[in-house]
A and B are shown apart, each in its own frame.
Chain A
Amino acid sequence: MNKDEYKKLVDGLTPKENKSKNAIIAFLVGGLVGLLAELIAVLIMKWFGISRIEAYQWTCLIVILLACAFTAIGFFDNWVTKAKAGLILPTTGFAHSVMSAALDYKRDGFITGIGANVFKLAGSVILYGIISAFFFAIIGVVIYG
């Protein structure tokens, strides 16, 4: 059996991932996170009488804090596994990835451990987020002046 034939054999016997089901779960959970965040924003606006923009900033911080706290307490990874991409794509995912890496390397020292590894997973998001923001800003300026 050559390598191509082996690949065919493996592909034939490998169960397919249920992508549409995963996508629906991610859509619903991600949407739920958005809905909760919106609720927090509305409540903050009401209680503290601040503008919508300011309320969103506070909401973002609260969601990050919650995700980090849940990760540190230790049950958020189970939620992430079950929610597929639903909790990874919102800000919760970013906070969770940073927090889980930090927890992993806390024994390796502040510099060589946490400092060097905290953005292990989130580093790509930051780097390519900044690069794409730069290009989108240029496009924005060219089109809208």
Chain B
Amino acid sequence: MASFKFNNVYIKDDFTVAGPLEKEGQIRKFDLSMDDYYYGEKTFIDAEIKMQRTVIDNLLYRNKNVKKIDFIIGGDLSNQITITNFAVKNFSIPFLGVYSACASFVEGMLIASQFIESGASKNILCITSSHNLNAERQFRFPIEYGAPKAKTTTFTATGAVGTIITNEVSSMRVESGTFGTIQDYNQKDAAHMGAVMTPAAVSVLMDHLQDLKRNVDYYDLILTGDLGSIGTDILKEFLKINYGVKLKNHIDAGCEIFLPSQDVYSGSSGPVTLPLVLFNKILKNKKYKKILLIATGSLHSKDTTNQKKTIPSIAHAVSLEVLS
């Protein structure tokens, strides 16, 4: 069983740096936002590193009373998660790098929660980021090429989000979580991530509910990561056909960042999508008490898709409780 219950894990603070297109979308208020994709640097890689550094800097500054950050857990989409490695290197804080593509942040939260629950650590900083143009360059075509895209394509969000997980009581509790298993449903289209990742989301949702003996209605909100609008349709249909579950209390973070007029095809993707929506929209609304986060990641590289291999996917789930 890969589900865990936590009694003593809380979220203390969060900080967001959002990209130029993101701040003109559905959520207009962020801690900081960028005017352009360079963020005052010479390359997009440096820009993304600076985004993560800004988040860590601000979190450390705002939480000066925290004696010690025990370690940082983070990951991003770049090869060998170099962005996070470079961003963290100057802080002299122990670092644990994680990669589950777009599920990296929730994976990090779950690992951090386990360390805190066990008493081994007191404060852990979790971080993730994605940068549209770094992702374009790595996974798709050269940035300036502008290849026409299919309607199923998702648009990698630009931003960096960090949070501090702690054992100090706060208004938001990490209640439980489930590590997902890798799913492979023979999908080969990297331009249709919704279809690739839905089975992983379904699998971890069902595991979570079964392990903790809960019903899907137990949660006020199920927030999936970046399935996009088409992925959401597939998810709902999949659950209805296979498990007879009707998903009413569901929002996909991929559909919550951009406006339809921003021409982002099927919605937003990237590891930053879910925390961006969670911390800047869902939790600010104060509408939901019990929230289940399901972040989904597509585990492919450009080489495996070029070699026509199927795309496996993974999802991890974390349950949050808003206390006040």
Interface residue? A85 (CB, 8 A)? yes
A6, B185: Cβ atoms closer than 8 Å: yes
Q: Which of B137, B152, B233 contacts A104 (CB 8 A)?
A: B137
Q: Which of A3, A13, A81, A84 contacts B237 (CB 8 A)?
A: A13
Interface residue? B186 (CB, 8 A)? yes
Given A14-B195, A103-B142, A121-B142: A81 touches B186 (CB 8 Å cut-off): no
A9, B230: Cβ atoms closer than 8 Å: no
**Could you say which of B10-18, B64-72, B143-151 contacts chain A?**
B143-151
| Interface size range of chain B in the complex | 20 to 34
User: Which residues of A sit under 8 angstroms from B233, Cβ to Cβ?
Assistant: 13
A81 to B234, CA, bound (A): 27
Interface residue? B139 (CB, 8 A)? no
Given A10-B187, A10-B195: A100 touches B238 (CB 8 Å cut-off): no
Closest-by-CB residue of A relative to B234 is: A13
A81, B149: Cβ atoms closer than 8 Å: yes
| Interface size range of chain A in the complex | 20 to 34
Closest-by-CB residue of B relative to A7 is: B186
B143, A104: Cβ atoms closer than 8 Å: yes
User: Which residues of A sit under 8 angstroms from B151, Cβ to Cβ?
Assistant: 14-15, 17
A77, B199: Cβ atoms closer than 8 Å: no
A9, B238: Cβ atoms closer than 8 Å: yes
User: Which residues of B sit under 8 angstroms from A3, Cβ to Cβ?
Assistant: 185-186
**A37-83 residues at the B interface, CB under 8 angstroms:** 71, 74, 76-81
B142, A9: Cβ atoms closer than 8 Å: no
Q: Which of B137, B147, B186, B237 contacts A9 (CB 8 A)?
A: B237
Chain A min CB distance to B168 (Å): 43
User: Which residues of B sit under 8 angstroms from A103, Cβ to Cβ?
Assistant: 142-144
A121, B145: Cβ atoms closer than 8 Å: yes
A71 to B146, CA, bound (A): 10
A76, B237: Cβ atoms closer than 8 Å: no
Interface residue? A92 (CB, 8 A)? no
Interface residue? B141 (CB, 8 A)? yes
User: Which residues of A sit under 8 angstroms from B141, Cβ to Cβ?
Assistant: 100, 121
User: Which residues of A sit under 8 angstroms from B120, Cβ to Cβ?
Assistant: none
A1, B142: Cβ atoms closer than 8 Å: no
**B134-175 residues at the A interface, CB under 8 angstroms:** 137, 141-152
User: Which residues of B sit under 8 angstroms from A120, Cβ to Cβ?
Assistant: 142
User: Which residues of B sit under 8 angstroms from A88, Cβ to Cβ?
Assistant: 147
A81 to B148, CA, bound (A): 4
A104 to B238, CA, bound (A): 40
A80, B192: Cβ atoms closer than 8 Å: no
A6 to B202, CA, bound (A): 12
**B242-261 residues at the A interface, CB under 8 angstroms:** 242
Closest-by-CB residue of A relative to B185 is: A6
Q: Which of B42, B148, B195, B230 contacts A15 (CB 8 A)?
A: B230
A104, B142: Cβ atoms closer than 8 Å: yes
Given A6-B185, A9-B234: A74 touches B195 (CB 8 Å cut-off): no
Q: Which of A22, A77, A85 contacts B145 (CB 8 A)?
A: A77
User: Which residues of B sit under 8 angstroms from A85, Cβ to Cβ?
Assistant: 148
User: Which residues of A sit under 8 angstroms from B234, Cβ to Cβ?
Assistant: 9-10, 13
Interface residue? B1 (CB, 8 A)? no
Interface residue? B241 (CB, 8 A)? yes
User: Which residues of A sit under 8 angstroms from B150, Cβ to Cβ?
Assistant: 17
What mask results when residues 27 to 42 of chain B are scored 1 for a CB within 8 Å of chain A, else 0?
A: 0000000000000001
Closest-by-CB residue of A relative to B310 is: A3
B144, A104: Cβ atoms closer than 8 Å: yes
- Which of A13, A71, A104 neighbours the largest number of chain B CB atoms within 10 Å of its CB? A13
Instruction: Enumerate 17 A-B pairs (CB-CB under 8 Å) in ascending A order.
Output: A6-B185, A9-B237, A13-B230, A14-B230, A15-B230, A22-B148, A76-B144, A77-B144, A80-B145, A81-B147, A81-B149, A88-B147, A96-B145, A97-B142, A97-B145, A103-B142, A103-B144
Q: Which residues of B approach A to under 8 Å, CB–CB?
A: 42-43, 137, 141-152, 185-187, 192, 195, 199, 230, 233-234, 237-238, 241-242
Ranked 6 nearest A-B pairs via Cβ: A77-B146, A100-B144, A104-B142, A100-B142, A100-B145, A80-B146
